[in-house]
Every structure is written in structure tokens, then in C-alpha cells.
Amino acid sequence: MFFKQKQKDYQLDQNNIPKHIAFIMDGNGRWAKKRKLPRTYGHHEGTKTIRTLALEANKLGVKAMSLYAFSTENFKRDAKEVEYIFKLPKEFFNLYFDELMKNNVQIRYIGHLELAPKETQMIIQDAVKKSSENTGLILCFAFIYGGRDEILNTTKLMCEQYKAGVITLDELTEDYFEKHLMTGDLPPVDLMVRSSGEYRLSNFFLWQLAYAEFVFDETLWPDYDEECLHRAIAIYQGRERRFGGVLK
């Protein structure tokens, strides 16, 4: 007989739950390769992790969870893999949308969704629309997103606003700029987690991560679970955040 090993119980401080957690979901391909399965199967398994973490983060009172689902650079991958990833939103929302709605989760996306196939666009937009009144966790998919692209586009917008006399140079503050990023109405990112033992940002949230705490976990994304999330939050809670100040 097999018994599921008891999960490690991390004592989390309910008064210090990160408001916004950003995930770089990595390791789907390696997870599949280890099992001699096609890479796409790893992506399929990876969507289950999204459901698990969204429900758990919602329970813990996290306000927003952002997921790096497809980068502007991911178009360099094999066309068949890209095609498969673009089908994942349909699979994901078919399986889990009702449950996420019941749990009051609000779906959002950031990125160049207009570059995705029409059907993918419609599926994501529909989920966003139907869940827009929900007041629980904001589950934000960064889909065809790149950090440099976002900063450059926001800079261009600021230039246009300046030229049109909407703002003066003095009014162009960090706060003002930040509000015009794609994440403008989300809370600041407190914690960034990357799975699979890679130590890079890969062009994700270059502005937003300025003061975030980083946790790098060896677990491959399809195996990342509630226990890993609790561990990441426990590590976050053990850190002293100084925001450029000095130790108290």
C-alpha cells in the first residue's frame, strides 16, 4: 500500500502574505523529456499547476498572481510547439474556468494578444469579460509579453503625451510611468518565483521586479505544487525587505 508523504507544514504569517506573486513557469519541456514524452505534454501538465496554484493563492489571500505564459521571444520555438501553446488557453478554460469562477477568481491578460490566432484571442477575452466582476485573486496571464517591449512602448506613450501637452516633464514621475505599464492597476510585485533551477529573468517584468524578492526553485513547473508555493512564501516572509533603506 502507498501512502502519500505528508507535506511539509510551513507556518505562514497571515499578516505578511505577498500581495502580488509573479511566476516564470519553467521546466515543462524537461519534465516531458524525462518521461520520454513530447515537450507539448509538459505544457499540458503545466496548465494543471496553474489551476492548483491559483486556487491555493486565492485561499491564502494573495491579491494577484502573474504568469509568464508566452514571451515575445517564444516565437523562435518550433512552429508546432507554438501552435500547441496557443491552443492551451482553450484547454485550460474548458477544464477550469467554472471552478475559477466559483472561487471568485478574476482573469486578466497582458501582452500582444493581437498576435495570437483569432480563436485564442476570443477565448482569453471571453474569460476576462465573464470574470471581470470577480473580487478574488487576479490571475494575470502574460501572453506574448516582453519586459523591454513594454518599457519601450510605455516610453513612446509618454513621449506622445508630452508632445500633445497632456503631461509636463515634471509630471512624468516613476509613479506616473508605472501606472501606464500593462500592470498599471495591479499591486506591486512582492515575490518572483522561477521554477526548474534556472536563474534568469528572461525579459519578464523588468520594471516591476525592481524591489521584488526572488525565489528560485529546482522543481520543474508541472511538479510545482501547493507545498512549493508555501515554501516560497515562507522564504519571502523570512526576508527583510529594505527598499533601499537600512536594516532596522
The residue (of 120 and 208) whose beta carbon lies closer to ligand FPP is 120
CB of 114 to ligand FPP, least distance (A): 15
Question: How many Å separate Cα 204 from the centre of its chain?
Answer: 9
| Residue showing the smallest CB distance to ligand FPP in the complex | 29
C-alpha dihedral (72, 76, 80, 84), degrees to nearest 10: -20
Exposed e or buried b for every residue in 92-108, given b needs 16+ CB within 10 A? Answer: bbeebbeebbeeebbbb
Burial environment of residue 80 by CB neighbours within 10 A (0 to 12, 13 to 18, 19 or more): exposed
User: Any contact of residue 29 with ligand FPP (CB under 6 A)?
Assistant: yes
Q: If residue 160 lies in a helix (H) or strand (E), which one and from where to where?
A: helix 147-163
- Is residue 26 part of the annotated active site? The answer reads yes
Q: Which of 26, 149, 190, 217 is catalytic?
A: 26
Residue 74 is a catalytic residue: yes
Q: How far apart are CA 154 and CA 99, in angstroms?
A: 35
Task: Considering the complex, state which of residue 72 and residue 161 has its C-beta at the smaller distance from ligand FPP.
Answer: 72
Choosing from 15, 28, 74, 185, the catalytic residue is: 74
Contact call for residue 146 and ligand FPP (CB under 6 A): no
Site string for ligand FPP, 188-207 (x = CB under 6 A): --------x-----------
The residues that bridge with 21 in the sheet, in sequence order, are: 65, 191
Angle between helices 39-60 and 226-237 (to 10 degrees): 60
The nearer residue to ligand FPP, 62 or 142, going by C-beta atoms, is 142
Sketch the per residue contact string, 71 through 110, with ligand FPP: x for CB under 6 A, - otherwise. Answer: ---x----------x--xx--x------------------
CB of 207 to ligand FPP, least distance (A): 21
Q: Which is nearer to ligand FPP, 23 or 236 (CB)?
A: 23
Q: Is 157 exposed, middle or buried (0-12, 13-18, 19+ CB in 10 A)?
A: middle
Alpha-carbon distance 56 to 114, whole Å? 31
> Where do contacts with ligand FPP occur on this chain (CB under 6 A)?
25-30, 43, 46-47, 50, 69, 74, 85, 88-89, 92, 141, 196
Task: Indicate which residues carry an active-site annotation.
Answer: 26, 74
